[in-house]
Amino acid sequence: MEKFSSHDATPAGTEVSGAGGSGRPVIVGGCPRSGTTLLRSMLNSHPHLAVPHETAFIVPLYRKRDAFGDFGDPENRRKVGEWIVKNKKSRSERLKATPEELIQAVVLAPPTMGSMLAACFALNARNQGKPRWGDKRPSHAWNLNAVFDLFPDAQYVNVVRDPRACAASMNRVGWSWGGVESATEMWQRAIVSAEAWRRKLPEDQFFDVRYEELVADPKAVLGEVCAFLGLDPAGIDSMLDYHQDPDRPTGTPFKEISNPVSTDSVNSWEERLTGTDLALIEEIVGEEMRRIGYELTGNGIPVPKDRMKEFRRIRSNRSKQIRKRRLVEVKRMITYRRPSADQTRAEA
């Protein structure tokens, strides 16, 4: 993976296909606490794009797409709609639509999982008077196979932040689920997945946003994001006022979203992580950090064997889960022959 910058992800003068309000889905992902919520809030503040605060039903339903029967039957599509609105983990209440509206949108959608999911997000956008929809969830970064199977023409915005800052932030809000070791594993997995898809996709479908650059010069970076997505640059001023949105996420993990963009947290990891924490992170992902352009502290502190052992245990367990999930998906691909892709765009 070469060193990159949000300022050079799309070469100057490149005509981005699909630009100009094409209506293509906008998907945002990245390691947790990398700045995906900040970027989502900015994007949602554009007058032509609706990106709800984190939902959680796209990937779970993709993995269950063979459990509802033939989607040519409206009653089976209704089952999908009811799953979305009744499953508390789906967070469908974050969409600007009633449960009845969501179910009806799913029932009326073309008979593919991608179409039914797109109908929910399109309804959310339409109810806000916006022509285009998106979705943000950090874990999209390592589920891009599902994202692009469902929405083949989606545009993916990949948010990258210093792994030391991600780990410190996850620890601060209680999201580390295993400390710095777990946070480092998530960051590495997100980076590896993003690199694989960056190589696969055309330039108009993958765009990197560096958190540090976004907060240092938000107007410039948002200008490039808008150019990539084909959004009217006249909406940038509204995007910079994201913190005034009454529907912005609240609570301890998102308190920064209530304030204008700031660089205050860029180097806060220096005070929040121990020397051993830093040595551990840099030992594990130092190569990726150097390639992206993050400087290592090189503090020379030896990494305790028990901490490396814990990291390897976490990575091994996660690898086993991924292999098991892939095996299930391979079997599903053999037995489930119906298309998954959104057909509403093809019909537009």
Tens of pLDDT along 153-185? 999 999 999 999 999 999 888 766 779 999 999
Residue 14, pLDDT score: 29
**Low-confidence residues of the chain: pLDDT under 50:** 1-21
Asked whether the CA dihedral 332, 140, 136, 122 is positive or negative, the reply is negative
Work out the mean pLDDT of the chain and round it to a whole number.
90
Q: What is the pLDDT of residue 348?
A: 54
Q: Residues near 82 by Cβ (< 8 Å), separated by ≥ 6? A: 103
pLDDT confidence of residue 245? 83
DSSP 295: P
Our CA angle for 84, 86, 87, nearest 5°, is: 70
40, 42, 45, 50: CA torsion to nearest 10: -20
pTM of the complete model: 0.90
